[in-house]
Amino acid sequence: MDDLLDRLRTSIGADHVLTEDADVAAYVVDWTGTRAGRALAVVRPGSTEEVAAVVAACAGAGVPVVPQGGNTGLVGGGVPDASGNQVVLSLGRMRRVREVDPVAGTVTVDAGVVLADVQAAAEKVDRLFPMSLGSEGSCTIGGNLSTNAGGTAVLRYGMTRELVLGLEVVLPDGRVWDGLRGLRKDNTGYDLTQLFVGAEGTLGVITGAVLRLFPATPRHATAWVAVSSVDAAVSLLGLAQQHAGVHLSTFEIANRQAIDLVLAHLPGASDPLGEPSDWYVLVELAGSASDDGLDETLESLLGEAVEAGCATDAALAGSPSQRSALWALREGISEAQKVEGATLKHDVTLPIARLAEWADAMGPRLQEVCAGVRLVTYGHVGDGNLHYNLNAPLTDGGHSDDDALRAAAADLTTAIYDSVAREAGSISAEHGLGRTKAAAAASYKSDVEVDLMRAVKQALDPAGLMNPGVLVPPAPGASA
Ligand code: FAD
Ligand code: MLT
Ligand code: ZN
């Protein structure tokens, strides 16, 4: 292995090949703090050519590569396993916005550019890059593409795969595929770009991307709405679509438990409504500078919602700072859950029409598995996507009983996944599979689907060195 490390130092400079425990520490543990591995080295190439040199050297030495962006992934796909034999390839130095073309509506970036920086580059030319996640200050475009990230703008603009036109990828043997084309129309064969989107680093390393831009939406009307149930939230969604049409940009749900955690742990957070409610919806309409009537549209929508019984109260943002405060209640939930104690995440989608009945039935069933488990339910209800997350029961002294949650974790997750599968839903709406869910996802897919996934992996990465153990479970009897 010393030969490989020497070769890597020669290719990208000794300063960018990290091997000391203190230097690699932040790269081998995930955001949740529950997935920790070991690395042979962490390498930080500064260009596509350097990424290619690293991947070729690792391929030559038979050493697995784990691509990593901002390390905000929630399924353990961007951190190495416990073997200490894998090289973590961080894109953190590749942060160049290569080109912005407002007329074509494209921005071309290095894969290591942080999502918030892409949003800012678009804003500078009066355009919008709509993807928005709670982690946008640290996640990278390469990670967003590789997980096909969702977030709070999917309702209007779609998942990451709908926001990309072309890619540059270093293949598992070190060759570079230059597919950095910004064409809207290109029917010249298999869609290779889309093959790498959502591949979680198992087919190659994304080094650059051409992304789509949209007209800017500087005007917003935002409300925090109390609703009595998931069913009421789904009815409100129907009304919002009717009233606001294309202007409806956000429709996020949270239960009271989630908001209680934010109020307890997020400095400065306050409840915008006087009376507590079991559920809340964050609704936002967005429009161009000439869209004058958004506030009126939102007010009339809410008036009708109260009359129809699908909303009980609402607070409208009267200023940008009030808007930010409402958004912070929603975006602070992941962090608040983590501060509270042990957490179990379930990122599920169901047909929207089935969501309410499913959620109502699931709660009591989980109490039978783990008495007192706290349901922290929130997410992108407009996309049929709930984060059906759990926090540990409280002890008699009011502390998070993390051991109780860990002891029941497997049974809780199986109860949820089995039930989602019966509803023809998905056990990963937007976070991907990583190491955490690869085996479970395969167990709910048909043999045909798993065979096709393995065939794609085998065709592009026959040596199985790109992020092994992630997304595609090894075939029975295989060593990797
Ligand atoms: P990493 O965590 O570094 O990696 C994720 C996966 O992509 C790994 O498998 C890794 O190997 C692979 N990868 C990374 N870069 C590359 C590359 N250049 N080439 C090939 N493979 C690569 N996700 C959502 O979808 N919606 C949300 O609303 C959302 N909210 C979040 C809120 C918080 C507070 C946090 C912490 C996370 C949230 N996430 C959300 C999850 C996470 O931010 C996304 O999955 C994000 O896309 C990961 O980007 P990253 O750069 O951090 O990738
Ligand atoms: C979010 O939407 O806030 C995250 O995807 C949910 C999570 O952290 O589980
Ligand atoms: Zn989410």
DSSP codes, 290-356: T-TTHHHHHHHHHHHHHHHTS-SEEEE--SHHHHHHHHHHHHTHHHHHHHHS-EE--EEE--HHHHH
User: Which ligand is the nearest neighbour of the Cα of 147?
Assistant: 1
Does ligand 2 come within 6 angstroms of the Cβ of 389? yes
Separation of CA 249 and ligand 2 centre (Å): 18
From atom 7 of ligand 2, which residue's Cα is the shortest distance away? 334
In the chain, the amino acid numbered 117 is D
- Cα–Cα distance measured from residue 81 to residue 470, given in angstroms and rounded to the nearest whole number: 10
In the chain, the amino acid numbered 72 is T
pLDDT at 479 over 60: no
Separation of CA 198 and ligand 1 centre (Å): 10
| Tens digit of each residue's pLDDT (9 = 90 or more) over 361-390 | 999 999 999 999 999 999 999 999 999 999
Q: What is the mean pLDDT of residues 26-36?
A: 96
Separation of CA 144 and ligand 2 centre (Å): 14
Query: In the structure, which protein residues have their CB atom closer than 6 angstroms to any atom of ligand 1?
Result: 31, 66-74, 77-78, 91, 111, 133-135, 139-140, 142-144, 146-147, 149-151, 200-201, 205-206, 334, 430-431, 434, 467, 470
Separation of CA 257 and ligand 1 centre (Å): 26
User: Which ligand is the nearest neighbour of the Cα of 67?
Assistant: 1
What average pLDDT does the chain have?
Answer: 97
DSSP, collapsed to helix, strand or coil, labels residue 56 as helix
CA 380 to ligand 2: nearest atom = 2
Query: Is residue 117 very low, low, confident or very high in pLDDT (cuts 50, 70, 90)?
Result: very high
- Cα–Cα distance measured from residue 6 to residue 227, given in angstroms and rounded to the nearest whole number: 61
CA 345 to ligand 2: nearest atom = 9
Tokens of 282: 């964050």
From atom 8 of ligand 2, which residue's Cα is the shortest distance away? 334
- Cα–Cα distance measured from residue 258 to residue 242, given in angstroms and rounded to the nearest whole number: 28
- Cα–Cα distance measured from residue 79 to residue 36, given in angstroms and rounded to the nearest whole number: 7
CA 73 to ligand 1: nearest atom = 2
CB atoms within 10 A of CB 448: 8
Separation of CA 123 and ligand 1 centre (Å): 23
How confident is the model at residue 478, as a pLDDT? 63
Our CA dihedral for 415, 416, 421, 427, rounded to 10 degrees, sits at -140
Residues in CB range of 5: below 8 A, 6 or more apart = 17, 19, 40, 41
Query: Is residue 480 very low, low, confident or very high in pLDDT (cuts 50, 70, 90)?
Result: very low
pLDDT at 15 over 80: yes
User: Which ligand is the nearest neighbour of the Cα of 199?
Assistant: 1
pLDDT at 334 over 60: yes
Separation of CA 295 and ligand 1 centre (Å): 34
Burial class (CB in 10 A: 0-12, 13-18, 19+), 102: middle
Cite the beta strand spans of 171-278 per DSSP E.
176-179, 205-212, 214-215, 219-227, 248-255
Separation of CA 74 and ligand 2 centre (Å): 9
CA 150 to ligand 2: nearest atom = 5
| Tens digit of each residue's pLDDT (9 = 90 or more) over 454-473 | 999 999 999 999 999 999 97
Among 111, 68, 59, smallest CA distance to 89 is for: 68
Among 43, 44, 55, smallest CA distance to 110 is for: 44
Does ligand 2 come within 6 angstroms of the Cβ of 193? no
- Cα–Cα distance measured from residue 127 to residue 182, given in angstroms and rounded to the nearest whole number: 16
Query: Is residue 477 very low, low, confident or very high in pLDDT (cuts 50, 70, 90)?
Result: low
Given CA atoms 48, 50, 52, 58 in this order, what sign does their dihedral have?
negative
CA 432 to ligand 1: nearest atom = 45
- Cα–Cα distance measured from residue 87 to residue 64, given in angstroms and rounded to the nearest whole number: 6
**Residues of the chain above pLDDT 70, percent:** 99
- Cα–Cα distance measured from residue 167 to residue 142, given in angstroms and rounded to the nearest whole number: 10
The continuous run of DSSP H or E covering 110 comes out as strand 106-110
- Cα–Cα distance measured from residue 150 to residue 253, given in angstroms and rounded to the nearest whole number: 15
How confident is the model at residue 475, as a pLDDT? 73
CA 142 to ligand 1: nearest atom = 18
| Tens digit of each residue's pLDDT (9 = 90 or more) over 272-313 | 999 999 999 999 999 999 999 999 999 999 999 999 999 999
Among 359, 354, 357, smallest CA distance to 416 is for: 359
**Residues of the chain above pLDDT 90, percent:** 98
CA 431 to ligand 2: nearest atom = 5
Q: What is the mean pLDDT of residues 446-454?
A: 96
Separation of CA 261 and ligand 2 centre (Å): 14
CB atoms within 10 A of CB 298: 26
| Tens digit of each residue's pLDDT (9 = 90 or more) over 250-279 | 999 999 999 999 999 999 999 999 999 999
pLDDT at 476 over 80: no
**Whole-structure pTM value:** 0.97
From atom 22 of ligand 1, which residue's Cα is the shortest distance away? 201
- Cα–Cα distance measured from residue 376 to residue 258, given in angstroms and rounded to the nearest whole number: 5
Tokens of 330: 């929603």
For residues 130 and 157, is the Cβ–Cβ distance under 8 A? yes
Separation of CA 428 and ligand 1 centre (Å): 13
User: Which ligand is the nearest neighbour of the Cα of 133?
Assistant: 1
